[in-house]
Amino acid sequence: MAITVVEVRQLARLASLAVDEAEAQRLAGELQAIVGYVEQLSQVDTAGIAPVANVAGLSSVLRPDVPGPMFATAQVLANAPARNEVAILVPKVVER
Which of 66, 67, 72 is CA-nearest to residue 85?
72
Among 5, 16, 26, 41, which residue sits at the site for another protein (rule: CB under 8 A)?
16
- Kindly state whether residue 1 participates in binding another protein, applying the rule CB under 8 A: no
Write out the binding residues for another protein, residues 41-80 only, by CB under 8 A: 53-54, 56, 58-71, 73, 76-77
| DSSP letter string, 34-51 | HHHHHHGGGGS--TT---
Q: How far apart are CA 79 and CA 84, in angstroms?
A: 12
Q: Under rule CB under 8 A, how many of the chain's residues touch another protein?
A: 36
Nearer to another protein, 22 or 55 (CB): 55
Least CB distance to another protein at residue 78 (A): 10
Least CB distance to another protein at residue 53 (A): 4
Exposed e or buried b for every residue in 46-63, given b needs 16+ CB within 10 A? eeeeeeeeeeeeeeeeee
Residues that bind another protein (CB under 8 A): 10, 14, 16, 53-54, 56, 58-71, 73, 76-77, 82, 84, 86-96
